[in-house]
Structure 1
Amino acid sequence: MASAEAGTHLTADATDPNDPAKENTVFRLAGLIRPMWRPLLLAGLATLGATGATLALPWSVQYFMDGILSGSEGALGVLATSLLLLFAVQGIFSSARIYLLAYAGQSFVKDLMVRVYSRTQRFPLNYFDRERTGELISRISNDTTLIRNLVSNNLVEIVSQVVTVLGAAVLMFVLDWRMSLLIFVAVPFVVAVGAIFGRQVRKVTGEVQKNVADLTSIMEQTFGAIRVVKSFAREDHEQQRFADGAQKVFDASMRQAKISAILGPAVMLIVVSTLIGVLYYGGHRVVVGTLPAGEFVAFLIYMVMMSGPATGLTGQYTQLQQALAASDRIFSLMDTAGEDLDASQNGHSENAEGRIEFSDVSFSYDNGEKVLHEVSFDVSPGETVALVGPSGAGKSTLVSLLLRFYEIDSGEIFVDGTDIRELGLRALRSRIGLVAQDVALFSGTVRDNIRYGKLSATDAEVEAAARAANAHEFVSGLENGYDSLIGERGVKLSGGQRQRLSIARTLLSDPGILVLDEATSNLDAESEALVQDAVSRLMAQKTALVIAHRLSTVVNADRIVVLDSGRIVAQGTHAELMGSSTLYRRLYTKQLGGNQKSSSPTPKNCTRAKSATNSEDSRTP
């Protein structure tokens, strides 16, 4: 028996984000950037080369000034030659830096996006119940882009500007230490201003990114339900909802801009005040003859060269804080506990029979609502068992637990005698095929959607599955046959056509156990007949667990389990339950007398379809 702690297997890096072992954001970000050290190092060296050439320019100017003032005509030729060489060197190094930074930045964002997306694929289903799709999309796209800017631009620019500032400071000190001291007095003020506003930038950037994620969610929801929007003529409502979200992005962005608008001029005021002081002091010394004019000009050039990067560092610091805010959001995503699809405590037989057993299973959703109470029943190999009951009885929850979309509170579920918590998730789910009433198809070709059931399938196998699912005829009638694009979520196909593609996909995967939600309740009579025939082929010689909505479709099931308020209240054949179960008899009689589409009872192994995630009693905490 697996311990209750077994739960969903977590990957090695799915640790508590509050764990003291977790480094702070800066060190974690450095760890992500570390694989790019080679191109970044080369870019840094190229930056040093370009910066060195730039720092040599004032020396040439000083030589020129002193030569001209002393009457040396050779100074002009030396200046022209040196300037040409220095600009050539600077151009070569700058070109190398641009390419290397682009390579490092694009490589980094590609790897980071793949890593984060791969991480989301391991999240348990209850994570997607809580979070919005747009939020995830924003983190993977927008936040990673902010971090890319740090790698491809900010890091080396910071190095370049720091080297320029330090190099200019050293050379200025060599030229005249007295004037240099005037400049160094301003440094603490610049640092203090940057530190004060930098923290605010990081906080506001987090708000901006959150609002951008909200806006992305609005777009994703609207486009995904565009038919509903248009059928209710809610275009104006959605436009206003988007405008409100855009306003929030604007407001947060303007708070961010306000901080930057204060930070830049504040630093510039300090720099300009210092420059004016140096101009006055140095100019006085030139006038009285204690400072050569060439040295003073060179000193001023170095000062101007230093003031630009010094001011630029405040901008780089702002962008660094933005990248750190984005990193916080990325790391919170990466710290989310995920499933290990291949984890397995014990081995299991490859010769699966398809036996299922629920033993005293109880379950509550995250909101604390208990939806199953000590449920026990079994399904023998090759047997068809239907689950029936009122809406919210717990039918879909049972199959969600079988697939370990959620973890049980107590009890056990066995597949072929092995507790499912001791099976790897990939191995468990590969044994079970789902056919959903609300079919999920991907934007792509017919062939790609069928092949999703078995990625290694040949074209012949894909076509054979389509024939068995009664889909080949309509697929052949499409403009490009199996290579026809079906649109977003299969929008170009009818409900019956989508359902038959879903059945073909499941046929191709050839699972030993089928979990089905009635596949024909929303189809016309002709489509229903085709789908029922396809389902009967799908279910041949397989164990089937059926979630039934129309009881007329499961009257010939081997056994029917009646659920009410999370408890089994009766089980048996249709004939037995009509005599012994008041609830079943009431449900069946009500449906026959209602306005429901008539359908002759299907033979054993002939109906079903749908995953737990799409059924009527699934919960979204």
Structure 2
Amino acid sequence: MPSSTSSFAALWQLIRHARPYRARFIAAGLCSVANKLFDVAPEILIGVAIDVVVRGQDSFVAGFGVSDPISQVYLLGALTLAIWVFESIFEFAYLVLWRNLAQDLQHELRTSAYAHVQNLDLAYFEDRSSGGLVAILNDDVNQLERFLNGGASDLIQVVVTVLACGAVFFAISPQIALFAFTPIPVILWGAFYFQGKAGPRYDVVREKVAALSGRLANNLAGIATIRSFAAEQRELQRLGSESSAYVAANRRAIRLSAAFVPLIRMAILFGFLCTFVLGGKLVLEGQLQAGFYAVLVFLTQRLLWPLTRLAETVDLFERAMASTRRILGLLATPITIRDSEQTMPDHPARGEIVLRDVHFAYANGSAVLHGVDLHVPAGRTLALVGATGGGKSSLIKLLLRFYEPTRGEIRLDGRPLTAYPLSWLRSQIGWVAQDVFLFEGSVRENILYGRPDATEADVIAAAVAAEAHEFILRLPQGYDTAVGERGVKLSGGQRQRLSIARALLKDPPVLLLDEATSAVDNETEAAIQRSLARLAHQRTVIVIAHRLSTIVHADQIAVMENGRVTELGTHAQLIARGGSYAALWRVQTGGVDGN
């Protein structure tokens, strides 16, 4: 488990990450220091004022050339006014600087972490819940923001208070200072001890937050399934269990935090009693002036409040460092799909695709492709068929460079995929998946996603070509109708046609279709097939299909079984061969020849 050193290591990593903000950190810190120095000064002036009243022309102030007692009082009044004004100015300055710094840094961390997440390969997401990632990008970043808003300044000001008060104590009476400041090491030991114990507990708290967020996100996404199985009570109990685990983790941290405050109070009490008793004795013996005695008593009180709050500040610090470890840990996750540094081609791809001895295995070690060799000439259509688990969808993901082959090579227009910048490569490929993802927003916004700068006429033309225009016009607000989260307000066929319209608007030279008609009715399938026929015109198309009737006119059909291409040819050639394709055709059509 993390120790106190890991919290300081996390702080150091955060400081290194925030190097562009260094000047603002320094400015905010200096304002916090100045504010605290002016904040301590009134206690000193009160003691000096008492000295003026008691000793008159022999007072401490008289040593600066102001002998008249009333003039000394006026001088102290003017100094008090100036001190309060400057204290207020620096308080305003440090509040503005720290809070704006917190806002800018949390914005930078959140956007940097999100940008990094977008570049991670898909294998990373297979082992993590989206709720856990949202917890890091949102809740953890907010936790750090809360510390920077106030906790960072509080830590600085506690140190300044101790040093400033200590300097005054030792200047007035080293004897009293030694006794009064004896508890400080105890307090510091307690702070570090608490920090060491609290760090692991807050790491557990952050883990429980991620688990709870994951459960909520998962259940909200599957609310229809939960209701269909009448499992509301069961899911409520599971959520309650996750929430109770979070509460229990927080309680363990809170118990430790609560125990720290009484420790500090008792230590401060010891220091105060030493000042009160020993200082009073020295005044009565004539070894210490009454005004200076008042200064020491007031300064001891000044130490009480910030040191009492030290537990709360350290608690906030530990929460923030637990979050920092998670944020920076996410940012440190290596990106395995490396972008090419070569210049972006100034022309669209022709679309010739070649796979040479392609092998692929997922991170868990399960191999899905074994020596696949395929050649798709530019402008031709290749259909991939075969049983589920044969490696067809994995091959599509390799073409998009969501994953890298473990062996072998994939080429586009004679060059390896790795030679092209990722943004350019994916701009040349249109992907229509079986599980269509629509973004929360309007119909128009979802179609425009493929080409945000397209005109309204382009959007309508793409919708017409996808046979989506008529149903869009029947929607309550037409193209401005909100589709809901993941397109929940639309039917499966409507979502699929919007997906095709999106791909049409993008107008890519290479098109990947992953079972685009597997979950729709016959009428919708016919409409989608007509749309796909338009979409495939003069493009390189790789289509995955379970319904063989939809791919009889493909230029090539590859049968994939257990990660290997077992048959390759046209529909007529494969039927004539009498292999697994012909057997599957007979099952689906009752033996009717599709030539």
Q: Same fold (TM over 0.5)?
A: yes
Residues 264-413 of structure 1 mapped to structure 2, 5 A cutoff = 264-338=261-335, 342-344=339-341, 350-413=347-410
| Cα contact 1:342–1:427 (8 A) shared by 2 | no
Amino acid corresponding to residue 491 of structure 1 in structure 2 = V
| Cα contact 1:211–1:249 (8 A) shared by 2 | yes
| Structure 1 counterpart of 2:39 | 54
Shift of the alpha carbon at 1:195? 1.6
Amino acid corresponding to residue 274 of structure 1 in structure 2 = G
Q: Deviations over 1:77-97 (max 9, x none)?
A: 666555444333322322222
Amino acid corresponding to residue 226 of structure 2 in structure 1 = V
| Cα contact 1:346–1:422 (8 A) shared by 2 | no
Matched, 1:222 2:229: no
| Structure 2 counterpart of 1:537 | 534
Matched, 1:37 2:34: no
Measured in 1, the distance between the counterparts of 2:187 and 2:285 equals 32
Measured in 1, the distance between the counterparts of 2:272 and 2:452 equals 68
Measured in 2, the distance between the counterparts of 1:339 and 1:273 equals 59
Structure with the bigger percentage of helix? 2
Q: Residue 63 of structure 1: which of 48, 51, 54 is its match?
A: 48
The 3 A distance-change label for structure 1 pair 222 and 73 is: same
Q: Deviations over 1:545-567 (max 9, x none)?
A: 11111112212222211111111
Measured in 2, the distance between the counterparts of 1:406 and 1:308 equals 57
Range that drifts further, 333-342 or 361-370 = 333-342
Shift of the alpha carbon at 1:351? 4.8
| Structure 1 counterpart of 2:462 | 465
Q: Deviations over 1:132-181 (max 9, x none)?
A: 11111111111112222332222222222211221111112222111001
Q: 1:338 is paired with a residue of what secondary structure? A: coil
Range that drifts further, 208-217 or 347-356 = 347-356
Shift of the alpha carbon at 1:377? 1.8
Measured in 1, the distance between the counterparts of 2:71 and 2:343 equals 87
Contiguous gaps of at least 5 residues in structure 1? 1-22, 604-621
Q: Deviations over 1:430-454 (max 9, x none)?
A: 2211112221100011111111111
Measured in 1, the distance between the counterparts of 2:44 and 2:365 equals 75
Q: How many pairs does the alignment contain?
A: 576
Measured in 1, the distance between the counterparts of 2:368 and 2:24 equals 56
The 3 A distance-change label for structure 1 pair 24 and 61 is: closer
Shift of the alpha carbon at 1:302? 0.7
| Cα contact 2:383–2:551 (8 A) shared by 1 | yes
Q: Residue 28 of structure 1: which of 5, 9, 13 is its match?
A: 13
| Cα contact 1:44–1:156 (8 A) shared by 2 | yes
Measured in 2, the distance between the counterparts of 1:456 and 1:28 equals 41
Instruction: Give the TM-score normalised by structure 1.
Output: 0.87
Q: Residue 106 of structure 1: which of 94, 98, 103 is its match?
A: 103
| Structure 2 counterpart of 1:606 | none
Q: 1:443 is paired with a residue of what secondary structure? A: coil
Q: Residue 560 of structure 1: which of 557, 560, 575 is its match?
A: 557
Q: 2:318 is paired with a residue of what secondary structure? A: helix
Q: Residue 412 of structure 2: which of 403, 412, 415 is its match?
A: 415
Measured in 2, the distance between the counterparts of 1:34 and 1:504 equals 45
Give RMSD over aligned pairs: 2.4
| Structure 2 counterpart of 1:193 | 190
Contiguous gaps of at least 5 residues in structure 2? 1-7, 57-68
Q: Residue 254 of structure 1: which of 248, 251, 256 is its match?
A: 251
Measured in 1, the distance between the counterparts of 2:29 and 2:366 equals 58
Measured in 1, the distance between the counterparts of 2:18 and 2:245 equals 32
| Cα contact 1:433–1:513 (8 A) shared by 2 | yes
Shift of the alpha carbon at 1:254? 0.9
| Structure 1 counterpart of 2:491 | 494
| Cα contact 1:341–1:426 (8 A) shared by 2 | no
Q: Residue 521 of structure 1: which of 514, 518, 521 is its match?
A: 518
Q: Residue 235 of structure 1: which of 232, 236, 239 is its match?
A: 232
Measured in 2, the distance between the counterparts of 1:331 and 1:280 equals 51
Identity of aligned residues (%): 36
Shift of the alpha carbon at 1:113? 0.8
Q: Deviations over 1:543-591 (max 9, x none)?
A: 1111111112212222211111111211222232223243222322223
Measured in 1, the distance between the counterparts of 2:223 and 2:233 equals 13
| Structure 1 counterpart of 2:115 | 118
Measured in 1, the distance between the counterparts of 2:55 and 2:9 equals 59
| Cα contact 1:199–1:321 (8 A) shared by 2 | no
The 3 A distance-change label for structure 1 pair 581 and 335 is: farther
Measured in 1, the distance between the counterparts of 2:418 and 2:44 equals 74
Residues 439-518 of structure 1 mapped to structure 2, 5 A cutoff = 439-518=436-515
Q: 2:355 is paired with a residue of what secondary structure? A: strand
Shift of the alpha carbon at 1:230? 1.3
Range that drifts further, 521-530 or 402-411 = 521-530
The 3 A distance-change label for structure 1 pair 572 and 95 is: same
The 3 A distance-change label for structure 1 pair 544 and 107 is: same
Shift of the alpha carbon at 1:209? 0.6
| Cα contact 1:360–1:412 (8 A) shared by 2 | yes
**Greater relative contact order: 1 or 2 (C-alpha under 8 angstroms, separation 6 or more)?**
1
Measured in 2, the distance between the counterparts of 1:457 and 1:356 equals 28
Residues 75-154 of structure 1 mapped to structure 2, 5 A cutoff = 82-154=79-151
Range that drifts further, 42-51 or 293-302 = 42-51
Measured in 2, the distance between the counterparts of 1:462 and 1:296 equals 82
| Cα contact 2:183–2:270 (8 A) shared by 1 | no
Q: 2:104 is paired with a residue of what secondary structure? A: helix
Range that drifts further, 504-513 or 453-462 = 453-462
Measured in 2, the distance between the counterparts of 1:446 and 1:341 equals 34
Q: 1:193 is paired with a residue of what secondary structure? A: helix
Q: Deviations over 1:521-561 (max 9, x none)?
A: 32223322222221111111111111111112212222211
Shift of the alpha carbon at 1:465? 1.2
Measured in 1, the distance between the counterparts of 2:411 and 2:71 equals 95
Measured in 1, the distance between the counterparts of 2:327 and 2:27 equals 28
Amino acid corresponding to residue 501 of structure 1 in structure 2 = L
Range that drifts further, 263-272 or 114-123 = 263-272
The 3 A distance-change label for structure 1 pair 351 and 431 is: closer
Q: 1:516 is paired with a residue of what secondary structure? A: strand
Q: 1:541 is paired with a residue of what secondary structure? A: coil
Shift of the alpha carbon at 1:354? 1.3
| Cα contact 2:385–2:557 (8 A) shared by 1 | yes
Instruction: Give the TM-score normalised by structure 2.
Output: 0.91
| Cα contact 2:109–2:141 (8 A) shared by 1 | yes
Shift of the alpha carbon at 1:116? 0.8
| Cα contact 1:63–1:75 (8 A) shared by 2 | no
Range that drifts further, 458-467 or 533-542 = 458-467
| Cα contact 2:557–2:568 (8 A) shared by 1 | yes
Shift of the alpha carbon at 1:42? 3.4
| Structure 1 counterpart of 2:160 | 163
Measured in 2, the distance between the counterparts of 1:269 and 1:493 equals 66
The 3 A distance-change label for structure 1 pair 544 and 181 is: same
The 3 A distance-change label for structure 1 pair 33 and 400 is: closer
| Cα contact 2:190–2:260 (8 A) shared by 1 | yes
Amino acid corresponding to residue 465 of structure 2 in structure 1 = A
